[in-house]
């Protein structure tokens, strides 16, 4: 019996070894490289150099880092809030209103934005929101405005719109999956007990859908922090985020140790906030229960 279990374990390890090795190579190796760079005095890994914490001291003592990091967290939180709030009704509609035979078609339509490059979508939003773009030209032709609107491009508003559109499918799908798993008999039981539709949604549907909402929030929040294309193009370079600061250190200044220290610090901050968000959500669900 023991030998049989051992052979099954060996077979299992043999099956997962190739994908596990590939995952370690693709994901862990770059992270470990950045971590190693962050402790170096220069940007070379070919020779073992003296390790130092000076890069991290410089990062935490830099007021510009504090300002840009807070801005990045604020923009990412706002994008996450807008995206999830807009995605939830769409996911709810797909799960509870659309006929089962047509859900595949709707899901197919939601994935259409993935057919084009993210960079192209950002450029399209720049064309739409530009001073002579679709919105301003349309409003001027209708006589609603005389001068182009200046608050819809090269600011936080335009960045939030662009990022919310870019990550909307990522938020819709996990919420939809969570709503699909809800036992409809629970909703019927709530109505049979005299609860209104609004209270049934608040006390039954929303708590059961929270795992999908949490997943959607994390899926949107984490990559938004690392986005540098949108601040550069839609923000006009006037509202740099932490990813732009890292890019400047890595490429423009060729200071890989400092850029790596910035990246590691940002990752740690995002990881702590994400874990805190998950913990608070679990506590909220326990209280609701």
Task: Read off the pLDDT of residues 27-70 as tens digits, 9 standing for 90 and up.
Answer: 788 888 888 888 887 756 555 567 788 889 999 999 999 999 99
* Euclidean distance between CA atoms 179 and 211, whole angstroms: 10
Q: What's the mean pLDDT in 123-135?
A: 83
pLDDT value for 202:
82
Q: What's the mean pLDDT in 153-169?
A: 88
Q: Does residue 208 carry a pLDDT above 80? A: yes
Report pLDDT digits (tens) over 241-253: 999 999 998 888 8
Name the CATH topology of 62-285: MetI-like fold (1.10.3720)
Give residue 267's pLDDT band: very low, low, confident or very high (50, 70, 90): very high
pLDDT value for 221:
93
Give residue 71's pLDDT band: very low, low, confident or very high (50, 70, 90): very high
Out of 159-168, 184-193, 226-235, pick the least confident.
Answer: 184-193
Is the CB of residue 179 less than 8 Å from the CB of residue 91? Answer: yes
* Euclidean distance between CA atoms 283 and 274, whole angstroms: 14
pLDDT value for 47:
53
For residue 284, how many other CB atoms are within 10 A of its CB?
Answer: 13
Most confident of 121-125, 148-152, 261-265: 261-265
Q: Considering the chain, what percentage of its residues have pLDDT values greater than 90?
A: 28
Question: Using the 8-state DSSP alphabet, how is residue 254 labeled?
Answer: -
Residue partners of 151: CB distance under 8 A and separation at least 6: 157
Domain borders along the chain are: 62-285
- Which position has the token pair 């491009």? 153
* Euclidean distance between CA atoms 154 and 157, whole angstroms: 8
- Which position has the token pair 């006037």? 238
Q: Which residue has the higher pLDDT, 233 or 3?
A: 233
Q: Does residue 153 carry a pLDDT above 70? A: yes
Q: Considering the chain, what percentage of its residues have pLDDT values greater than 70?
A: 91
Burial 5-20 (b: 16+ CB within 10 A, else e): eeeeeeeeeeeeeeee
Q: What's the mean pLDDT in 127-141?
A: 83
Report pLDDT digits (tens) over 9-32: 667 677 777 877 777 777 788 888
């Amino acid at each position: 019996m023991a030998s049989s279990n051992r052979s099954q374990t060996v077979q299992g390890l043999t099956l997962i070894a190739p994908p596990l090795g590939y995952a370690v190579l693709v994901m862990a190796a770059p992270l470990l490289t950045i971590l190693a760079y962050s402790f170096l005095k220069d940007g070379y890994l070919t020779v073992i150099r003296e390790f130092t914490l000076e890069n991290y001291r410089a990062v935490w003592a830099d007021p510009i880092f504090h300002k840009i990091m807070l801005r990045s967290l604020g923009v990412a939180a706002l994008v996450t809030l807008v995206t999830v709030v807009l995605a939830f009704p769409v996911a709810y509609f797909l799960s509870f209103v659309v006929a089962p035979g047509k859900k595949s078609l709707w899901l197919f339509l939601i994935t259409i934005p993935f057919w084009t490059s993210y960079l192209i979508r950002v450029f399209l939003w720049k064309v739409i929101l530009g001073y002579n773009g679709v919105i301003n030209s349309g409003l001027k032709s209708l006589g609603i405005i005389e001068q182009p609107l200046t608050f819809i491009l090269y600011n936080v508003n335009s960045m939030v719109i662009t990022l919310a559109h870019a990550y909307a499918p990522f938020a819709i799908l996990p919420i939809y999956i969570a709503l699909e798993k809800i036992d409809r008999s629970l909703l019927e039981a709530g109505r049979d007990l005299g609860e209104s539709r609004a209270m049934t949604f608040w006390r039954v549907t929303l708590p059961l859908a929270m795992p999908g909402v949490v997943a959607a929030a994390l899926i949107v929040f984490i990559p938004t922090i690392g986005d540098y294309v949108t601040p550069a193009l839609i923000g006009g370079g006037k509202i740099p985020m932490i990813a732009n600061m890292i890019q400047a250190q890595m490429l423009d200044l060729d200071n890989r140790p400092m850029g790596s220290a910035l990246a590691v610090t940002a990752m740690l901050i995002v990881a702590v906030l994400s874990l805190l968000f998950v913990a608070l959500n679990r506590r909220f669900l326990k209280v609701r229960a």
